[in-house]
Chain A
Amino acid sequence: MRALLFERSLAKVAASRLAGSVVPGRGARFGPLRLASLSEPEPPGPDWMRVRPKLAGICGSDLATLDGHGSRYFEPLVSFPFVPGHEVVGELDDGARVVLEPVLGCQARGVHPPCPACAQGDTGDCERVAFGHLRPGLQTGYCADTGGGWSTAFVAHRSQLHPVPDSFSDRDAVMVEPTACAVHGALRVPTEGALVVVIGAGTLGLCTVAAVRRLGLPGTLVVVAKHPEQRRLATELGADLVVEPQGARRAVRLQTRSLAVDGRLTGGADVVIDCVGSARSLADALAVVRPRGQVVLLGMPEPFRTDLTPLWHREVALVGAYAYGSEPPAAGRARARTFALAFELVADAGLGRLVSATYPLERYREAVEHAASAGRQGGVKVAFDLRGQRATGERRARGAGA
């Protein structure tokens, strides 16, 4: 099979980091990612199935990894070499379309009894991602044993797979995983009637806007978006007000009618959801959140230093939001699987339109660079299209094997 393989190589990581700091996404060209012909991964157990990806998205966390900006925190939680790709819609051998829920929790790892988090359905918080019969890997796409979505085939545990309704196009389906992240972030803290600020309007930001609007019942939803196309989409998806980053403080000040001292607001938003995860975005979040407000860190952060004095002084709660699992019951809704909510939301908000470009696996360098600069170019989600590739990929794989 054809796959993009990510190998551990210090020199390549350093090179990608250098390149990535010059041009975002350029890391793919120099880095440890390469197109390879591999043998298909063997199912590690009875409940495992082979999935042939149709579309596989490029996620912000993938970009950080490729550009070498990711945190070293993950090193013990992944196993090399791995095939990236965790936003996947694929096909089973019987032709059924499935969406992957990539977290490799206790059930997939054969850990019994499951950890308390998994027992409750909060698979994202699984405590065993480095244990069990699989090599470490917090998700499919970071584990050496399962393969990943940026390939023509990988294996997944039955519990990881969700059937795709016929009404869903492949583009809709590939948006389910990022949408689930957004849903989880949006529901991480209560937002009913609150002034909510979403910082960032890439895929995650826009999905969060849709999630907050439809599930969070906010009072007012303000979105901070850099690029014009992002602003248009944010408005379409239900933002009450969309502002540019430099106008964020002014806008929140006006909304909250607070005063300002030397550019710092005295009041602020009830909830700020940071969908970027940079030093700048977190500083912005802390600048616009009210005293005793909550900041949800939803975008995967890169390592940075920051001044937490405002957090301390204003008694702000900083809450992380990773992946998905189940969501607590809320107004008019019982406890629910995040993915179930995400399916509804994708259909409801038409999030399939956020997929703005697809590339074949061979053009992965272009694809990654495009993904890294998608906002500026008026795009949102970039994905690999593996539908036409399967045959050729298999043939080539076979050829290589012979």
Chain B
Amino acid sequence: MSPRPGFVLETDRATPPTLFWHGEGWRLERLPPGSRIVYPPEPMEAVADPDEAVRQALAHPLGDSEPLADLLRPGMRLTIAFDDVSLPLPPMRPPDVRQRVIEAVLELAAAAGVDDVVLMAALSLHRRMTEAELRHALGHRVYEAFAPHGLLLQHDAEDPDGLVHLGCTDAGEDVEINKRAATSDLIVYVNINLVAMDGGHKSVATGLASYRSLRHHHNVRTLQHSRSLMDEHRSELHTSNWRMGRHIAASGIKVFQIETTLNTDTFPSQFAFLQRREWEWSGRDRATYLATSASLARTPARLARSIFHSIRSPHALTSVQAGEVEAVHARTLEHVHRQHVVPVEGQTDILTMGLPYICPYNVNSIMNPVLVMCLGLGYFFNLYRGKPLVRAGGVVIMSHPTPWEFHPVHHPSYIDFFDQVLAETTDPLEIEAKFEESFATDPWYVHLYRTSYAYHGVHPFYMWYWGAHALQHLGAVIVVGGDVAAVRRMGFKPASTLRDALEMAADVVGPDPSVTHIHAPPLLLADVE
């Protein structure tokens, strides 16, 4: 049976309650009759032989590019950059797709006699990956072959000797990227395109860039004009990255882009109910739901967190394409859209969403309040093409426990951001003008970013900017079941139940509001007419 497409369900009295993710857990909520629920398409079929698909893609590149084997020659300098721990979500069952692709690339490099090869995690300003995470992404074989010899590097956006400034784009944006990559004869970029936002020129122009370069597109103005982040053609963020990518190409740096798409088979079979439509839950699904909910209610938060973060997703490869960046990305987007797009008619007054335990920046970590904001208003809100799912002045209701808790190693600057910046103002423009520079250049954050496993000092600002368009667009944001103080600190309204939240929302948008629930994850992309 071929996978069924996503669709919009209009609820009535007979509709069973709807699953809302709620951090490390979930709730069943009954939406008012007449609400709409946007269901994601079912996972697409995987390619039958992923290794063969990778080999074929390398041998038959897209756009103006020779096959990879022909680009490799003895004596050349080769840098293989790959997406970091923020993709895919949750981390996939081994073997990770990066391992498959990198092994295939290295096989060709070995056959061609390339000796100078370096692997590089394209961290941008994310935290460094731990050994376990690198082993997971690359496999033990590749890790053990490269790491002990110092050939497995992680991009360091603060290494004064490790960056090279390539001049400015026509729009005056600094382009500064990793020196090893820039001085290579070829950069092979191994990408995972989980959502439409990823990939393309963003891979190199963001993944291997420095703060000096990133601030030209990671800023409030750009992000307020990225409508949405998931729609490359209407996103300032992408336009800027594309300018930079073209500038990099014009500087004579050759990039062989390999993009992969995964299906939305997000959760292991024991949690099958999480990606099933409620009315199709079998007896077993219902039993699992009841059993897991009951046991989670009795599980300490720390333990629950570590259980959830040990989930390995059965994501399967649906396509792989390689070659010239733009041609590759165009084909990638077709596959992503085929998996994600759900047509939705018209906007809604109130958009509800259940936020899960994970976002790109808390893999093996803690989902702190700033990340909750980013996931809800930065990611879920932006899962649209055309117009936002929720109308201007509408309300977003997110469900998440929003604990006032931070990972001290991974998110040190987040703590100060939350305690000192958000305590003063939540306005992105004011935050940017008043605080960004000092956080971005703080020597301690720089030190932790470079030597420990910390996100860069400026990263919490980017999280806040990610939601800047939503903050500008919405009339109010309500968090159901969150830590009241933490929710208030962010300028949101706390509610203890969805019913209360809907009541509060009606005060903002008027009586008899239309309600739409975005039933994710698994992820989707609403095509709003």
Using a CB–CB distance below 8 Å, which chain A residues touch chain B?
241, 243, 247, 250-251, 253-254, 257-260
Contact = CB atoms under 8 A, between A and B. Distances in A.
Contact of A259 (B419, B438, B444): B444
Nearest to A260: B444
B444 A250 contact: no
B420 A251 contact: yes
Interface string B383-426: 00000000000000000000000000000000110011000000
B443 A259 contact: yes
Given A257-B438, A257-B442, A250 B415 contact: yes
A251 B443 CA distance: 14
A243 B442 CA distance: 20
Contacts of A254: 416, 420, 442
B488 interface: no
Nearest to B447: A259
A260 B419 CA distance: 18
Contact of A257 (B415, B419, B420, B443): B443
B419 A250 contact: yes
24 contacts: A241-B420, A243-B419, A243-B420, A247-B419, A250-B415, A250-B416, A250-B419, A251-B416, A251-B419, A251-B420, A253-B444, A254-B416, A254-B420, A254-B442, A257-B438, A257-B442, A257-B443, A257-B444, A258-B443, A258-B444, A259-B443, A259-B444, A259-B447, A260-B444
Contacts of B442: 254, 257
Contacts, number: 24
- The majority secondary structure among interface residues of chain B is helix
A250 B445 CA distance: 12
B443 to A, nearest CB: 6
Contacts of A260: 444
Contacts of B420: 241, 243, 251, 254
Given A243-B419, A247-B419, A250-B419, 17 more contacts: A243-B420, A250-B415, A250-B416, A251-B416, A251-B419, A251-B420, A253-B444, A254-B420, A254-B442, A257-B438, A257-B442, A257-B443, A258-B444, A259-B443, A259-B444, A259-B447, A260-B444
A253 B444 CA distance: 9
A260 B416 CA distance: 14
Contacts of B438: 257
A250 B448 CA distance: 14
Contacts of A247: 419
A253 B443 CA distance: 10
A251 to B, nearest CB: 7
Contacts of A250: 415-416, 419
Chain A CB within 10 Å — which of B443, B444, B447 has the most?
B444
Nearest to A257: B442
Nearest to A250: B416
Nearest to A244: B419
Contacts of A253: 444
A246 to B, nearest CB: 10
A143 to B, nearest CB: 47
A87 to B, nearest CB: 33
A272 B202 CA distance: 47
Chain B CB within 10 Å — which of A243, A254, A258 has the most?
A254
A257 B416 CA distance: 12
Interface string B440-459: 00111001000000000000
Contacts of B416: 250-251, 254
A93 B447 CA distance: 69
Nearest to A259: B444
Contacts of B447: 259
A137 B420 CA distance: 46
Nearest to B444: A259
Nearest to B457: A254
A69 B442 CA distance: 43
A251 B415 CA distance: 10
Contacts of B443: 257-259
B24 to A, nearest CB: 25
B511 to A, nearest CB: 36
Nearest to A254: B416
A253 B419 CA distance: 13
A358 to B, nearest CB: 32
Nearest to A265: B444
Interface in B225-246: none
A353 B419 CA distance: 27
Contacts of A259: 443-444, 447
B394 to A, nearest CB: 33
Contacts of A241: 420
Contacts of B415: 250
B99 to A, nearest CB: 37
A260 B454 CA distance: 14
A260 B446 CA distance: 12
Nearest to B438: A257
